[in-house]
């Protein structure tokens, strides 16, 4: 039976940039930057990226995220899709790519992230699906 193992915690500032009404609802781009902590490395690492959000007529947010953790040879790129509501916060499915030998196991990992948003602050806990 698969289980979720906590991998990391992200704390980021969101910058809401409205695009406007589109065929699927209301679109906004949300660049973000902050820090990520994990037991897989020492200290905080920077995290930054872009969330493309489309809010449907029912209030459900469709999320498409691309991001980057760390710098230099320790960089981990990630992409995610998800859903969210103003009340429940984001729920994401994540994949990763890195050339860092210490984190190469992430290249075959799938993550699940659950979070909250208060004003412009995102707090997200990332879990790895394991068998």
Give the whole-angstrom CA distance, residue 18 versus residue 35: 24
62-107 confidence digits (pLDDT tens):
999 999 999 999 999 999 999 999 899 999 999 999 999 999 999 9
Number of domains the chain contains: 1
Domain ranges, residue 18: 3-130
Note the pLDDT of residue 9.
98
- For residues 126 and 113, the answer to whether their CB atoms sit within 8 Å is yes
Question: Tokens in use for 87?
Answer: 């009340």
Give the whole-angstrom CA distance, residue 92 versus residue 2: 17
- For the chain, what is the mean pLDDT? 97
Position 7 confidence tier, pLDDT thresholds 50, 70, 90:
very high
Note the pLDDT of residue 125.
98
CATH of residue 91: 2.40.160.20
Residue 71: Cβ within 10 Å count: 10
Note the pLDDT of residue 89.
94
Mean per-residue pLDDT, 45-61: 97
- For residues 73 and 83, the answer to whether their CB atoms sit within 8 Å is no
Note the pLDDT of residue 86.
87
Note the pLDDT of residue 41.
94
- For residues 104 and 126, the answer to whether their CB atoms sit within 8 Å is no
104-119 confidence digits (pLDDT tens):
999 999 999 999 999 9
Predicted confidence (pLDDT) at residue 56 exceeds the cutoff of 90 = yes
Q: What are the angstrom distances between the C-alpha of 87 and each of 72, 90, 115, 124?
A: 37, 9, 11, 15
């Amino acid at each position: 039976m698969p289980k979720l193992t906590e991998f990391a915690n992200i704390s980021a500032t969101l910058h809401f940039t409205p695009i406007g009404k589109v065929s699927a609802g209301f679109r906004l781009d949300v660049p973000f930057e902050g820090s990520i902590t994990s037991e897989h490395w020492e200290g905080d690492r920077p995290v930054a990226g872009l969330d493309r959000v489309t809010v449907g007529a029912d209030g459900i947010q469709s999320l498409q995220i691309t991001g980057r953790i760390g710098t230099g040879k320790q960089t981990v790129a990630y992409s995610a899709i998800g859903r969210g509501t103003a009340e429940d916060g984001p729920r994401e499915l994540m994949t990763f790519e890195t050339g860092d030998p210490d984190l190469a196991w992430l290249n075959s990992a799938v993550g699940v992230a659950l979070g909250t948003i208060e004003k412009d602050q995102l707090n997200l806990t990332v879990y790895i699906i394991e068998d």
